[in-house]
Structure 1
Amino acid sequence: MSKLCAVIDYGMGNLHSAHGALQAVAGADTRVLVTSDPEVIRSADHVVLPGVGAIRDCMAEIRRQGIDQVVAEVRKTKPLLGICVGLQAMMDSSEENGGVDCMGLFPGKVRFFGNDLVEDGTKLKVPHMGWNKVQQVEHPLWAGIADNSRFYFVHSYYVEAVNPSQVKGRGHYGVDFAAAMGEGNVFAVQFHPEKSHNAGLALLKNFLNWDGQA
């Protein structure tokens, strides 16, 4: 029986890269489809919420297209993966664009790294762009991936979680931040697995093989 992975298209995602990476690791029985159709998303076996760009624009499109309602439904019954701004959209709110209310799947805020970010006396550039280690917290999506593997990040804002038990990966760039969040059927990452070579592809493959509920 064939399976469907729906990559949500709401006009703000890096869809080509995410689709290509997922398709590359999908088994012969899995189809990866980019779609904005709520009924297709609801019928999928796995759902991916990507995202790039400003959070105000992302949330405006998510709400305009009713994606927030679809996400609230699918998270209860099937595996859901958030990528980059897809993770940030799952938090309570973001400081970006003067303050934006998000979907609230995870309690916590998205904060700006700041213009005076310093590490060991050296000023750090913002955005945080490039490869960085992720310290794992046990979860099925890390299976077969060495702890402290490097993943590719591009972000000026970071997740400050409220509930430590929901943090499934930790990063550091001047400050500690949540690199991965997870609870129940939902797993979301700040980095781009589709750009993170073998470790990222392994995570995507683990997601497609995951039945949810860590």
Structure 2
Amino acid sequence: MMPEERRMTFSSVLDIIEGKSRSAVFYVQKQCSNLLEELPELTDDVEPHISWMSTALGKLPDAVNFWLGEASAVTSMHKDHYENLYCVISGEKKFILLPPTDRPFIPYGQYQPAVYRQRDDGEFEVVDRSGAEKVPWIPLDPLKPDLERYPQYRSARPLCCSVKAGEMLYLPALWFHHVQQSHGCIAVNFWYDMDYDIKYNYFQLLDSLCQLPGSM
């Protein structure tokens, strides 16, 4: 399920979040290096990259993303193919983390893509992308896991952590994560493309075995 996307001035977004509008859930979370590409006025306030991470990986980040949103904006469990340094500037982020080795305990399904669209009366409707292929997604909510439907999740060992203003979380590539935030939380993250090495091959093997009939 994809959100409705809107182009707005930054001041308009701030007005909505500071007023705690409930007509919709607003979240600046466009993951295309939006800090550098769309908000250049803010770049003088942050480093262009994390020098020790760039040195360790031998490359610069592929994307530097800016995040600003409401407490109602919750990110469902997923994984990314990036080494992620997540820096909280204001507020707090709460992460539920699971390592790639917990893949056998994490359910996946194939779902028809859809998008939210606001009607003229202000209500939102769900619009199926009928021509699009189904996509894999995790149906489990780690805050309220349905263990009758997904009993294998009992064997998972999630880690919970809070990242507060001035703190940084290193989130390795392929780690599953679910994210909550305080109202008006501001963060910047640095995405470094992962190395598709033997660790990735091992994960691909594990993921393939989990998709075999009767494996879950």
TM-score by length of 2: 0.30
Higher RCO, Cα 8 Å, sep 6+: 2
Tell me which structure has the larger Cα radius of gyration. Answer: 2
